[in-house]
Amino acid sequence: MKMIRLTYLTAVLFVVSCESALDEKVYSELGSDALNSEEGANAVLHSAYGEGSLLAMGLGGVGYYFTSTMPSGEAWNKGGNVEAQLNPLTNFTWDANLNYFNQCWSVPYEAIRDANLLIAGIPETDLEEGLKTNIVAEATFIRGFSYALLYNWFGPVPLVTPETAGDYYPGRATDEAVRAFIENDLRAAAGQLPERQDDYGRATRGAALGALCKFYLNTRQWEKTVEVAREIIQLERPYELLPDYNDVFRLDNEGNNELLWTFPRHALNGAQFINALSFPTDYPLAANQSVYAARTYFFDDFVDSYLETDRRKDLFVKEYTNTSGEHIQLFGSDKTLSLKYEFDPGASGPGMGNDIPVIRYSDILLSLAEALNELHGPNQESVDLLNQVWQRANQDQAAPVTLGGFTKESLRARIYQEREWEFFSEAKRREDQIRMGTFVSKAVARGKRADAHHVVFPIPQTEISANPNLRQNEGY
């Protein structure tokens, strides 16, 4: 991707170690003078983006990716050192010591720390008013988005704000308080952010509204989902479905008009490693790049569920000729590979620069379709929205979905099926299953020892040990 053109100000940042991710890091020379320059303010903003976009979330975002992919049954893993981390996620045997949970907790809180510094400090500076407004809006988006991630993974969490910075042992806020905080931050950010930024990768109004729409959807606030989805559709900056689904993910097409928000990646700085943890060393495109011993496979029944006309299935590798000229058959033994993220010719070792989509326009269309069905039952608008996504994928070669015969339950299932086809390898399936109430039952059907408490992850044991006021999620 094209890197966000924000400048590091490393000379002013001095960090002392903390026992807990909730402890404030002390910036011994970061005061009003540092924030009073555009360079200094942008340095802290860049740090907030760096953490908030999960550049530091273990192996380039795979903590974010695998905590959805493995528990939901979307894919499975075999081989490599990472197998010890992924098997518990696949088998529902995780506990509070799993390393991915440490990353899912600490990275957003580090972003929240940086955002709080900006929210509290920027208004007191002598910077130009328009610049101050934009920086505070971006910081507010980062904070709200980070809390939405934490809520998705752990449920209600401590709310750390500039006003509570002196409380080193915060307890968990109520569910109502956390939800209201996320809503207020994202709504406030959307009200101040521009529809376009000069620097690709920075938050926009569409990003904030998209995050808010998905938060409402996942908390089953249907009327608010409809309201915000319609706001997005009516933005002056037009978001759109690209004519060719496969173009959405091309390296040379990053920042396209289907993407409301992504986790930006650069091969030399914050690279992502999804392909390196999926493809074998004898795969031709991997021949000149480093890959790991791990493999991430998709199941035959899912790959086989697509129509032959569906372009989305073209991004699966079901067989290949290896570097020795041998034919390798993958489909038929639950070993299909996903090539949604193409191999980056500018890769640095196993790290690649493909951005990871977080919110796409197709997600907004399907969110609106789902919310309208939940509110009103089967309706023509929901079917029309569903068809926009379905027909794009099939290039109008498949029959459109028609309203006749649907119940609320069967249309819900059809929209969910479309989401599975549309968003594989995008870390959506866990949250979709939780919202649909099928996360535990589907895992049990696969033979896993899943229970009701598994819909949230355990708070990392290191955090529980460091903070006497922090209580663990029930069941752990």
Predicted confidence (pLDDT) per residue in 208-234, tens digit: 999 999 999 999 999 999 999 999 999
Q: What is the DSSP letter of 44?
A: H
With a CB cutoff of 8 Å and minimum separation 6, the contacts of 176 are none
Confidence of residue 3 (pLDDT cuts 50, 70, 90): very low
Please give the structure tokens belonging to residue 270: 């914050």
Kind and range of the H or E element at 376? helix 361-376
Q: What is the C-alpha to C-alpha distance for residues 117 and 139, in angstroms, rounded to an integer?
A: 9
Phi and psi at residue 286, in whole multiples of 5°?
-95, 0
Tell me where in the chain the CATH 1.25.40.390 domain(s) lie.
10-16+33-219
With a CB cutoff of 8 Å and minimum separation 6, the contacts of 27 are 12, 13, 14, 15, 34, 117
Q: What is the C-alpha to C-alpha distance for residues 375 and 26, in angstroms, rounded to an integer?
A: 48
The listed CATH number (1.10.3720.10, 3.10.580.10, 2.40.50.140, 1.25.40.390) that belongs to domain 10-16+33-219: 1.25.40.390
What angle do helix axes 38-52 and 129-154 make, rounded to 10 degrees?
Answer: 20
Q: Is it the case that residue 28 has pLDDT exceeding 80?
A: no
The mean per-residue pLDDT over the stretch 304-332 comes to: 97
Confidence of residue 32 (pLDDT cuts 50, 70, 90): low
Look at residue 456 and give its three-state secondary structure. coil
Q: How far apart, in Å, are the Cα atoms of 456 and each of 88, 114, 290, 358? A: 14, 26, 34, 20
Please give the structure tokens belonging to residue 309: 């006309």
Q: Are 379 and 372 in contact (CB under 8 A)?
A: yes
Q: How many CB atoms lie within 10 A of CB 452?
A: 10
Neighbouring-strand partners of residue 76 = 297
Can you point out the beta strands (E) in 271-322?
295-298, 316-317, 319-321
Confidence at residue 14, expressed as pLDDT on a 0 to 100 scale: 26
Predicted confidence (pLDDT) per residue in 35-68, tens digit: 989 999 999 998 888 766 655 554 456 788 999 9
0.85 surpassed by pTM: yes
Burial class (CB in 10 A: 0-12, 13-18, 19+), 124: exposed
Q: Are 53 and 264 in contact (CB under 8 A)?
A: yes
Q: Which one of 199-203, 266-270, 410-414 scores highest in mean pLDDT?
A: 410-414
With a CB cutoff of 8 Å and minimum separation 6, the contacts of 37 are none
Confidence at residue 124, expressed as pLDDT on a 0 to 100 scale: 93
Neighbouring-strand partners of residue 351 = 348
Q: What percent of the chain has pLDDT over 70?
A: 91
Q: Is it the case that residue 283 has pLDDT exceeding 60?
A: yes
Does the CA dihedral 333-413-451-82 come out positive or negative? positive
Residues composing the chain: 476
